[in-house]
Amino acid sequence: MKKFLLILVVLLPFLSAHANIESMHLGYCKGEVAKSGELGISGASVIEAAIFLPESMLKNHAGNNIETIRVGLASKLNITSLTTWIRADLNGENLAEQAAETIVKGWNDIALSTPYTIQGDKGLYIGYTFSQKGSAFGISTVGTFVNNSLFVKLGETDEWESPSEYGAASIEAIVTGDNLPKYDLELVSTTTKENYPIGIPMPISVEVLNAATETITGFDVECTIEGFDPITSHIDCNLIYNQTETFTFEITPPFSELASDVAMDIVIMNLTDGEDQYTDNNSARVTFDVINKEFKRYLLVEEFTTEQCSNCPAATKLLHEAIETLSEDFPNQINVVCHHSGYYTDWLTVNASQNMLWLYGQGNGTYAPAFMSDRTGVWASPGVKDLMIDKLRRRLERPSYVDLHIDATYDEEEMMLNVVVTGERSMIFCDNPPYITIFLTENDIKAQNQAGAGTEYIHNHVLRAYNSTEGWGEKVVWNEDDTFEYKYDFRIKEKWETNNMEIIAFVSDYSTEDILGCEIENSTMRKFTDFYYDSVAELSANNIDISVQGNDIVVSGDYSDYNVFSVNGMEVASNNLPTGIYIVRVSSNDKISTAKVFIK
C-alpha cells in the first residue's frame, strides 16, 4: 500500500471540542514537538524558522486575531534569546513581534503585546528568531513535510531554505475572534493499492480531519481517472472539531487493459451540514499501475539456529505458536526453513546456510536465534509472540505478483527426485533478474545434544539440499507470456527420511551488493509424500486402484485426474506404452499422490 500526504494546513484545538470553541491553532505540526533537534549550526549565531499560512486559508479568518504564537523547541541549550514574529515576506519587516520572557524545551507560548488582526487578503509567515552562544539544535521538526511547513535561515548571512527531509516546523498561531470557520473538512491522507488488478474492487482509505467548529455528519468522496466518468461514494460520519478518522470504501475502475502510472484525483466534497469554507485541503492525486492479477502470498520464514544455541528452542517454540495463531487467517501460508548457522555450526549445517550469513550485514556479526521474513532483513527473536505475529501478519497481508507450483516424481530405486517448478508473473516485481531457489527440508530429526534441551529435542525444517552450489538458486528464464518452467534433479541420501521431507521453492530478487536486495516475492511448499506412495497397494487403501492391462495403465476409483510420466519426468500417454518404469500421479480430494508402475 502507498500512503500519499497532501499539501494542507492543520488546525489544532485550543479548548475542548465539547465546549464553545473560542480559539484555533493554525500550523502543520499537529501539536507535536521533537525530543531532539536535527537542524542547527555550531558557534555563536542567529537562527530563524517559520511556516507560511496562505491567503486561501486566512481569508476564512478575516477579522480574527492572532493573539499568541507557540514555538516548540527541541532543546534550549546555548539559546540566549527568543523572539516570535509575523511577516508578509520572509525578509520583510515584522508586522507583530514579541520576545519570550523565559525559554523552555518544548512549547513556548508567547503572547503578542498587541494582537495582530488578520485581513484575509494575503498570506502570512509565522516564525521566530533565536540567538545562540554556541552549538544549538533548538529547531523542532516533526512528521512529514508538506508545502509551507518549514523555512529556515541558519546564520545571519545565509539564505532562507525549505529542507523537506526534516518534516514540519513546530510553530503554531493561536487565533481568536467571532469569525472562526464553521465548516472545513480536510483530507489529511489517502491510501490505495500500488498495483490494481483488472476487475478487482480497489480499496481506498481516506483520513479526514474536521478543522472547523461545527460537527460534520457526512460527505462525498469523488475519484476521477482521466478517460473515465468520476466515481462518487458517500460517507456518513460524526466528526466533531479537530477529530480525525479514517474511512475505507471500494471502487472498481473500468479498465480493460494494462497501464502504468495511472493518475487518480481524490476529492472530498458536498458536506451534509454546510459548505466547506476552505477547499485547498480537499484533494489528493495518487498513482498506480494496472496489472492482470495479483496472487496470494506464501511467506518464507528462515530461522538461524544451532545445537550450540541455548535460546533457540524457546525461539523455535515462539515461531510455531505464532504460525499456529496466524493459521486461522492465513492457512498454510507460512513455509519454514532452518539454517543451522549463525551461532557456530553443528552436524546439520550445510554450506548454503553458511552463505546465508551474508544477509546479516558485513561487520555486524551473526547470532542465533534469528529470523528472516521473505529476506526483508535479519531480525533477532522478539521474545514476545504478539510482536512476531504482527511482523509476519504485515508481510502476509501484502499481495504477491508471482505464482508458483511444484510438480515432482521420485524414483525409489535410483533415489532420484525430479522437481518441476512452474510459475507466472503479473508484473516485473524486482530490479534485478529474479532467481528460482529450491530447498529440500526434513522434519522430525532427533537432536544429538541441543543446548537448553538435551538429546530429546526434535529438529524440524532442517535444510538438506538446494539447487545451486552456493544456495542462492538460478536465474528465472521467462517465456513471452510471463510464465516459466524450471527443472532440477536431486539425489536423495539414504539417511534422509523421505516421508518427513518437504520441497520448498521460491522466487526472489538477488543482489550481490545489497543485503536488502534479495527479497522473496513468493514461495510454495509440497510435502515429499504428495508425490509418491511406497506401493500401489497403499494407493488402493485410499480407494484408488492402478492396474496394468497389456501396455495400458488404467486408474479407477475415487480420483479427479491422473497423469503418467516416464522416469525422466516427461509426461506420456497412458496407453500403448513400451516396456519400462512409469510414474502415475493421481489427484484426489485436493491431494496429489504418486505410484510407480512396471510394464513388462
Q: Is 80 exceeded by the pLDDT of residue 64?
A: yes
Has residue 96 been placed in a domain? yes
Residue 184 CA: distances (Å) to CA of 55, 180, 188, 219, 285: 15, 10, 12, 11, 20
**Which residues are CB-neighbours of 443 under 8 A, at least 6 positions away?**
459, 460, 461, 462, 500, 501, 502
Among 118-132, 364-378, 394-408, 557-571, the least confident range: 557-571
Once rounded to an integer, what is the mean pLDDT over residues 484-488? Answer: 96
d(CA 46, CA 4): 35
Once rounded to an integer, what is the mean pLDDT over residues 311-330? Answer: 96
pLDDT band at residue 563, thresholds of 50, 70 and 90? confident
Please give the residue range of the domain that contains residue 286. Answer: 185-291
pLDDT band at residue 539, thresholds of 50, 70 and 90? low
Q: Is 50 exceeded by the pLDDT of residue 522?
A: yes
- Work out the percent of the chain whose per-residue pLDDT is above 90: 73
CATH of the domain at 45: 2.60.120
Select, from the ranges 241-250, 257-266, 333-342, the one with the highest average predicted confidence (pLDDT): 333-342
The pLDDT value recorded for residue 6 is 39
pLDDT band at residue 569, thresholds of 50, 70 and 90? low
Has residue 434 been placed in a domain? yes
The pLDDT value recorded for residue 595 is 77
Residue 24, all three cell numbers: 484555533
The pLDDT value recorded for residue 536 is 54
Q: Is 60 exceeded by the pLDDT of residue 17?
A: no
- 324/22: higher pLDDT: 324
Residue 156 CA: distances (Å) to CA of 148, 150, 160, 350, 373: 22, 18, 10, 63, 50
- Summarised one tens digit per residue, pLDDT across range 172-206 is 999 999 889 999 999 988 999 999 999 899 999 99
Q: Which of 238, 273, 291 is the last residue of a domain?
A: 291
Q: What is the mean pLDDT of the chain?
A: 90
Are both 277 and 366 inside the same structural domain?
no
The pLDDT value recorded for residue 309 is 96
pLDDT band at residue 321, thresholds of 50, 70 and 90? very high
The pLDDT value recorded for residue 2 is 39
Give me the amino acid identity at 90.
L
What distance lies between CA 372 and its chain's CA centroid?
15
Contact of 422 with 573, CB cutoff 8 Å: no
Has residue 5 been placed in a domain? no
Are both 208 and 349 inside the same structural domain?
no
Are both 399 and 414 inside the same structural domain?
yes
Task: Give the strands of the sheet with 244-251, arranged side by side.
Answer: 2-5, 185-192, 202-210, 244-251
The pLDDT value recorded for residue 5 is 37
Are both 269 and 309 inside the same structural domain?
no
Are both 169 and 146 inside the same structural domain?
yes
Are both 253 and 354 inside the same structural domain?
no
Q: Which of 153, 176, 199 is the last residue of a domain?
A: 176
**Which residues are CB-neighbours of 561 under 8 A, at least 6 positions away?**
586, 587
Contact of 587 with 539, CB cutoff 8 Å: no
Residue 280 CA: distances (Å) to CA of 216, 219, 270, 398: 18, 16, 14, 33
Are both 364 and 384 inside the same structural domain?
yes
Sign of CA dihedral 15, 21, 24, 28: positive
Q: Is 80 exceeded by the pLDDT of residue 443?
A: yes
Has residue 262 been placed in a domain? yes
- Summarised one tens digit per residue, pLDDT across range 269-303 is 999 999 999 898 999 999 999 999 999 999 999 99
Has residue 315 been placed in a domain? yes
- 389/60: higher pLDDT: 389
pTM of the model: 0.68
The pLDDT value recorded for residue 484 is 96
CATH of the domain at 255: 2.60.40.10
CATH of the domain at 540: 2.60.40
The pLDDT value recorded for residue 347 is 98
pLDDT band at residue 489, thresholds of 50, 70 and 90? very high
Are both 413 and 285 inside the same structural domain?
no
- Summarised one tens digit per residue, pLDDT across range 346-376 is 999 999 999 999 999 876 789 999 999 999 9
Domain count, the chain: 4
Are both 203 and 158 inside the same structural domain?
no
Once rounded to an integer, what is the mean pLDDT over residues 306-314? Answer: 96
If you ran DSSP here, which 8-state letter would residue 324 be given? H
The pLDDT value recorded for residue 409 is 85
Among 142-151, 382-391, 490-499, 582-591, the least confident range: 582-591
H-state helical runs in 443-575: 536-540
The string of DSSP codes covering 534-562 is: S-HHHHHTTTEEEEEETTEEEEEES-SEE
- Summarised one tens digit per residue, pLDDT across range 590-599 is 666 777 788 8
Select, from the ranges 283-287, 335-339, 431-435, 494-498, the one with the highest average predicted confidence (pLDDT): 335-339
Are both 329 and 425 inside the same structural domain?
yes
The pLDDT value recorded for residue 201 is 93
Q: Is 70 exceeded by the pLDDT of residue 18?
A: no
Once rounded to an integer, what is the mean pLDDT over residues 455-472? Answer: 95
d(CA 456, CA 459): 10
Are both 66 and 163 inside the same structural domain?
yes
Once rounded to an integer, what is the mean pLDDT over residues 223-243? Answer: 93
Once rounded to an integer, what is the mean pLDDT over residues 70-89? Answer: 97
Has residue 17 been placed in a domain? no
Are both 524 and 541 inside the same structural domain?
no
- Summarised one tens digit per residue, pLDDT across range 131-180 is 999 999 999 999 889 899 999 999 877 799 999 999 999 999 999 998 89
**Which residues are CB-neighbours of 593 under 8 A, at least 6 positions away?**
529, 530, 531, 532, 533, 539, 542, 544, 585, 586
Has residue 338 been placed in a domain? yes
Has residue 12 been placed in a domain? no
d(CA 149, CA 125): 10
Give the pairing of strands 299-304 and 334-339: parallel
pLDDT band at residue 568, thresholds of 50, 70 and 90? low
The pLDDT value recorded for residue 541 is 59
